[in-house]
Each structure stands twice: as C-alpha cells, then as structure tokens.
Amino acid sequence: MEQRTNFHSKLGIILASAGSAVGLGNVWRFPTEVGENGGAAFILVYILCVVLLGLPLMVSEFVIGRHTHKNTADAYRQLAPRSGWVFQGYLGVFTSWFILCYYSVVAGWTLKYLLSALAGRVTTIDDSAAYFSTFTSSPWLPLLCMVAVMMMCHWVIARGVQAGIEKSSKMMMPLLLLIIAVLVVCSFSMPGSEEGLRFLFKPDFSKINSDVILSAMGQAFFSLSIAMGCLCTYASYFSDDAKLVKTAGSVALIDTIVAIMSGFIIFPAVFSVAEVSPDAGPGLVFITLPTVFQIAFGSVPFIGWFFAVMFYLLLLLAALTSMMSIHEPTTAFLLERFHLQRRTATWIVTLSCIFVGVLCSLSFGPLSDVRFLFGMTFFDFFDFVSAKIFLPVGGIIISLFVGWRLDRQLVFDEVTNHGALTFRLFPVYRFILRWLAPIAIGLIFLNELGLFK
C-alpha cells in the first residue's frame, strides 16, 4: 500500500475541493432550475440555502475527514466504532461509486458535443432534438465517449493525491474559470441579452412558493457534493493547519459564482433568440443551446463555432473535476482497507463503473425497454436512487452525527484548529446541524419523492 499523502498547498486544497463541488450540476442543472423557477428570486433563495444548509454540512464533512485522516468508511469506524453510525461511512463510499456509474455517461455526452463543436457540427444541426436522440440511442458511440472520459479520470486518480488530483485541479479549475469569463463576455455582447440579465437580476418575489424554496434547497445541497464521500475523503488529505471554515467558505463561493456565471452565459444567449424559452428544462444544454448557437451566430459562423467549442469544453472540464472527486472515495477505501496498490484500486473502480455505465448508456438505446420499479430504465434508476434517496439520507445522518454524536469539544477543536482560530458562530453552526439541517433535508427528501406534489 502506498504511503498516505496530503495536499501540498492551501491553494491545492481549495481548488481540489472546489473542483469536487463544481460540476455538471452548476453548468447544466442550475440554469435549468433557474429557468423553471422564475429566475432572480430563485437565485436569492438558493444563495440563502447555501449559507444556511450547504456550508454547515460541508464543514461537518471536513471535520470528519481531517480529524481521522482516513477514507470515509474507516473515518466513521474510528469515530463511532461498533455502532450504527458506521453505516454512513459505507453509504458514502457506495454512493460515490453509484453516482460515477451514470455520471460518466453524461460526461461522455459532453465529450461528443465538444468534438462535434470542434468539427463545426453543433452550429449547423438542422434538428438538435433528433441529433441528440440519434446519438444517445446509438449502441456504440456513447459508450466510446463514456469510456474515453472515464480513462481521463482514471489517469488522474492513478497518479495519486499530489501528482494527480491536486496538480490536475490546479490546471483545470483556472482554465474552467477563464472559459466562463470569456463566454460571459461573448454572451453579454449578443443582441437582446438585456432581457436575459433582467431575468437574472430583477427578482419577482411573487414567484417564490414552497416548490421554489424546496427546489433551491435541493440544488444547494446537491451542487456542493454533500454526502457523496468526496468532501470527507478530500478533507482526509488536508494538513492539520488547514482552516476548515475558511476553506468551506471559499469552495461555496467558487461553486456559487460558477453556477451564477453559467446563468450569465446561457440566459442572455437564450433571450437573444425569440424562438427559445428559458424554461426549456434538462434539454437546455444538449438540445436548446445548439439551436441558440445556430440562430444567434448564423451570420458570423466563426464566433458561433468559438462559443460552442468553449461552452462544451467548459462542460467537459466541469464533469472531469467532479468525476475525480467521485472516483477517489472508493479508490481510497479499497487502497486502505484491503492494502492494495493505488493503480490496482483505481482499475477496480474504473472497470466496475464502466461495466455498469454500459448498462446505463444502453438504456437510451438497445436496453430502453428494460425497466425497474415504476418503469425506470437503468439510467433513471441510478439517477433516482442516488439523488433522491442516498444523498438526502446521507445528509441527514451527517448532520445528526456531527451535531449529536461527536463530542462537542472535538468538533470545536477541529473548526478552530485547537483554539488558534476564532469561530464565534459555533453555537449557530451546532444548532443548524442539530435541528435546521435534518428538518430541511427531510423536507427535500419528501419533496423529491413527490410527497408534496
């Protein structure tokens, strides 16, 4: 087994953790939620949920990981040996693997669209819905793209914490932020973009209802990668002098900025094209935007080509940074529990995810008639179980574990680096973990299961 290492620098800690949080949920799911829930009012509720719900849970995962310096499963075994709380450690490891199986399929789509954009195809598609359907239902092309993206992720993880995850995060995250800045400028320059900015900046509080609040809470929870084992695992590589609260704040800030800037990219472009609605839903990125690129930049093909290439490169980078963090919890568990070499553990995770990912990918084509409970395909089943069951349940357990089970002094010592730092909001943090977070996540859980609809 390899010697356990830590992240080399504070910048590496922040960028790697931010890469874990920043993913397709920011660039794909967040604009979709904004479009479907009324724009600016939803964003304000979302930011409030990040502060009140996301940050305390992120700090809690950091506390567990940094205090033990172990993989997620062994961290709970150390803190609560021979108790039911150990279940959460194994759930976190399994959830990350479970999510990677189907997340890699969508990541493969981003690679396909990037290649199509490079070839000039995205801005010349006659029927983007038919193009997307033909591609995803193909028995081979989506699989090749999924395997290619998985191997990119595999190469990073196999190189280790410092040479792989940290080094790659230091390259990919600045590039991701640069691309976002360039695309925002391009989007703002489009005719009619003022309507998109008004949609994002001018809140209509009459649109806020229970559904909007619950959707914002759910987006804040999922966007920050809570309860996937990722943050706990990454925190196990933190140095003892890392400032957990400050790091969590930096990660949440970067994650929120990326999400809102993604709205700056998409909605000015969408409003500049009269034929396209901002509430186009999950098809916004792969079906609606190619139409936007084609209509908006029809008279200036090079600008349309550049916008499309940069946008799908952004999507691919966001997917990869998240995949790295989702891959690592299971790899670290196999490596440390069974004393495997990192390369061996990485191959086990990669190949097992590819095997299951094949079933998820084929559920759009040859296996589309194979159904699980409630008529769900393989892909739908993995998406539903992870997002609507594993993550909310894991979030509730984490908040209760740190709020009630862990010794108060242990938690205080971790968030203040044994008194070296000041954290005056510690009583508020404890109250949120004990009461507010479990109730709020419970409401998200019930809402996602459709009990309020």
Could you read off the pLDDT of 319-371 as tens digits, one per residue?
A: 999 999 999 999 999 999 999 999 999 999 999 999 999 999 999 999 999 88
| pTM score over 0.85 | yes
Q: Does domain 10-448 match CATH 3.40.30.10?
A: no
What percentage of the chain carries pLDDT values higher than 90? 61
Taking CA atoms, 46 is separated from 54, 61, 443, in Å, by 10, 21, 15
Could you read off the pLDDT of 219-233 as tens digits, one per residue?
A: 887 788 889 999 999
Across 302-309, average pLDDT: 85
Highest mean pLDDT among 88-97, 198-207, 304-313: 88-97
Domain boundaries, the chain: 10-448
Higher per-residue confidence, 279 vs 163: 163
